[in-house]
Each structure stands twice: as C-alpha cells, then as structure tokens.
Amino acid sequence: MIGICNIEDIQHVFSHQHIYEQGIVRTQHHALFIPEVLHFGPPVSSTVRNVTIDDRPPIICGAQLYKGDKVMINIYNLTRNKRYWKIDPYLFYPERFQDEDKDYHRYASFPFGGGHRQCMGQGLARLALKAITARLMQHVTFDDGGPEVNAGGHSWKITLTPKNIGVTITFD
C-alpha cells in the first residue's frame, strides 16, 4: 500500500532532508493516504462498550439493551459498510477523503475508537505513521507482489494483520 502514496509529494516537501512535523502537515497526498490505510485496515477489529443508562435503554437491531449490557462494535465491518461510503469501501482509494466521502459519518471509520474513551495516543500514532512512511518513501521502493500473493483476508486477533502479503522491497 505504501507504493500508492505519492512519492513526488514527499520528495518535494522533504527533498531527502530530515522529517519534521510541519513538513508532514504539508504533504497533501500523504494526508489522504494515512486515513485510507487506517480505514482499509484498522488497528483493531472491534471494541466493546458498556450500556451506561437504564432509564431509556436503547434498542439496537431489535434488541432491548439495559445498563451493564455489553455491546461489541465491529470496527472492521463499519469501514466496509456501503451505507456509509459513496465510493466502494473495498477499494483502496485515498482520494475518497477529499472527494465524495470527505463528509463521511463520524462513526463509519474510527480506528482509534470514538467519544470520550478514544485512544489517547492517536495523535502520536498518526504522526509516527506519517513520519515512518515518509522516511521509507525517501529511501525504499515497494512493489506489490500481485493478486496471487496478496490474496486478501485478515488474521482476526486483538489486532488485524493480513493473512498473506507479498511485497518486493528495493533500497534506493
């Protein structure tokens, strides 16, 4: 997926110099690429929340919920739900966040959780992901191994990892 990010954008801003935060903010295509990576493969597959009210319990999918009940939210499936995305959610398309899907429902993709219990480290994680991919793109070329090798699918554990992945890496 890294090869899809615009290398010219990275080289223009950093021109083989040190990576710095202000420069990362200026890389336009890179700013679309990272949210698409997180949309396409969220760090965790799901999260669990507790129902906290009992006076007007919510009804979800026809089930009455009460205080103390646990609700599992499948983050991966939300990112693939066609009701929330105008552009095919199974397509890796970073431009979705500047085109038709730029105003997506805030809970259609929330890789670090949502609300007041969202991940405290998400800002640092996003910055680190941007810095690491920018540095790699300055010095490494990635080529897709093709559909035979990258057959898709994920290993479902606490975090999502690709089942099969094939990438050719060339150090520049």
| Reported CATH class of domain 2-171 | mainly alpha
Dig out the tokens for 16 from the structure: 């083989």
Q: Select the more confidently predicted residue: 10 or 159.
A: 159
- Which residues lie closer than 8 Å to 67 by C-beta, 6 or more apart? 51, 52, 53, 54, 57
At residue 167, the 3 state secondary structure works out as strand
Dig out the tokens for 35 from the structure: 């949210």
Q: CA nearest 81: which of 104, 100, 51, 60?
A: 104
Q: CA nearest 164: which of 172, 152, 156, 148?
A: 152
Q: What is the mean pLDDT of residues 154-167?
A: 74
Q: What is the pTM of this model?
A: 0.70
Q: Select the more confidently predicted residue: 138 or 89.
A: 89
Would you say 34 and 140 are in contact if contact means Cβ atoms under 8 Å apart? Answer: no
Q: How far apart are CA 103 and CA 97, in angstroms?
A: 8
pLDDT surpassing 70 at residue 154: yes
pLDDT, position 82: 92
At residue 74, the 3 state secondary structure works out as strand
The DSSP bridge pattern shows strands 46-50 and 70-74 to be antiparallel
* Residues 18, 33, 160, 86, Cα dihedral to 10°: 170
Tell me: the pLDDT tens digits for 3-52? 455 556 555 555 556 665 656 655 667 778 888 888 888 888 888 888 88
Give me the percent of the chain exceeding a pLDDT of 90: 2
Q: Domain extents for the chain?
A: 2-171
